[in-house]
Amino acid sequence: MRRPPSLARLPSYPVTGGIGLMALVITGMTLSGYWSSARFEVGPTAFRSEPWRLLISALPHGDLLHLGFNLFWLWVLGTLLEEILGHFRLLGLVLLFAAGSAAAQCALEVVDGIGLSGVTYGLFGLAWVLSKRDRRLGSAADKATAQVFAGWFVLCIVFTRMNVMSDANVAHAAGAILGALVGTAMIARTLPLRVLSVAGVAAVCAASAAGATVLRPRVNLSPESAENMSFQLGYEAIQEGRFEDAVRHFQDALAMKSDNARAWYNLGIACEHSQRDAEALAAYRRAYEAPPHDARHKLAFAAFSRRLADEAKRRGDHEEAISLLRGAVEATPDDAYAWLELSAAYGAVGKPAEAEAAIAEAHKRQPGAAP
């Protein structure tokens, strides 16, 4: 097992040291509650509009045990690989291992801040393969080191199944596989083997990306599905006033389960606050039409329809007001005042018969109701 260099040499390893320091600071900020870990989570937006989440999700850690393990092995392995490969090549590989392992973890299990687990296992897999050709890596990927990584891998799986702690077990495996494939490509003596190894890296990344997006509802093994994750992110965005973000999250949730009444309702709220009136109205309608047909969703649709109808009447667009009010009384037929407003709108466009019928409906629901 390699003895790590002194921390006094940190400036000589800007990539390894820089990543370690960022992980240390960000973990401290999230564990202390100063920052929300949500800003670092992967989630569906990583594949839609915020790809940097695949990288920054490697920085926060859920507890000091995981932080200590990852920082120790990042320093042991990363410093040696930075000496051998150079700063920029190591940085590229760290980014690959971080993004690839995060995508794989998101595909098969729940992801919050997965930490540097995928990176450290990627560095070990890389060092283990390269050590077959480079004696300088022998002490960093010897039998004792392999036993530590294998033992930690098994222990994390056991602890996760026992609900003792939550570990990024898929990220461990994905990182190690990517590291081994990259290492094989680097030492391959034949072109077919090099091409096959590079293709393997591409295949792992592509499969992980597909599994984390369109295939996640089918392949995810966790109790919490992608749809639930998107819903939670959307709800948090509404609470924090980030309504455009909320719209994207609820759209992601509905892309996976289109009959989620709560998601439609919250999408309506987010769209309403984002001044997307047509989308909000459609979302509120879908909310009350979807099971379990919550009465609150009907009231929300009717109230928003009446609000838009008032705006339409002020613009002089009474036909639009009629259309909106018809939707309102369809959802809440016992609302006498909605019938009265509909009657007035019919009168404004010269439809007395329809106006009288609407007044009759209003009186049926509430005798003596007057405009």
- Return the CATH number at 45: 1.20.1540.10
Of residues 113 and 317, more confidence is placed in 317
Residue 82 in any domain: the answer is yes
> What is the number of domains present in the chain?
2
Domain hosting residue 168, numbered range:
7-219
Count of residues in the chain: 371
pLDDT of residue 45: 64
In a domain? residue 370: no
SS3 (DSSP) at 41: coil
Residue 287's pLDDT is 94
The domain boundary, picked from 183, 201, 219, lies at 219
Tell me which long-range contacts 248-257 makes (C-beta under 8 A, separation of at least 24): 248/45, 248/48, 248/49, 249/43, 249/44, 249/45, 252/44, 252/45, 252/48, 252/226, 253/227, 253/228, 256/216, 256/217, 256/225, 256/226, 256/227, 256/230, 257/217, 257/227
- Is residue 85 in a domain? yes
181 and 236 both lie in a single domain: no
Same domain, 256 and 331: yes
* 215 and 197 belong to one structural domain: yes
| CATH number of the domain within which 344 lies | 1.25.40.10
Examine the domain organization and report whether 110 and 158 are in the same domain: yes
pLDDT of residue 190: 94
Do 203 and 135 fall into the same domain?
yes
**Final residue in a domain of this structure, among 162, 186, 219:** 219
**What is residue 211's predicted lDDT score, i.e. its pLDDT?**
85
What is the chain's alpha carbon radius of gyration, rounded to the nearest angstrom? 29
Q: Are residues 66 and 188 in the same domain?
A: yes
pLDDT at position 223: 47
Which of the four pLDDT bands, split at 50, 70 and 90, describes residue 71? very high
Question: Average pLDDT over the chain, rounded to whole?
Answer: 88
| 203 & 170 share domain | yes
* Global pTM exceeds 0.85: no
Same domain, 80 and 180: yes
Is residue 1 domain-resident? Answer: no
206 shares a domain with 116: yes
Give the torsion sign (CA, 90, 91, 96, 97): positive
| Among candidate residues 163, 189, 219, the one where a domain is terminated | 219
Query: Is pLDDT above 80 for 164?
Result: no
The residues annotated with a catalytic role in the active site are 117, 172
Query: Is 174 in the same domain as 30?
Result: yes
**Are 184 and 37 contained in the same domain?**
yes
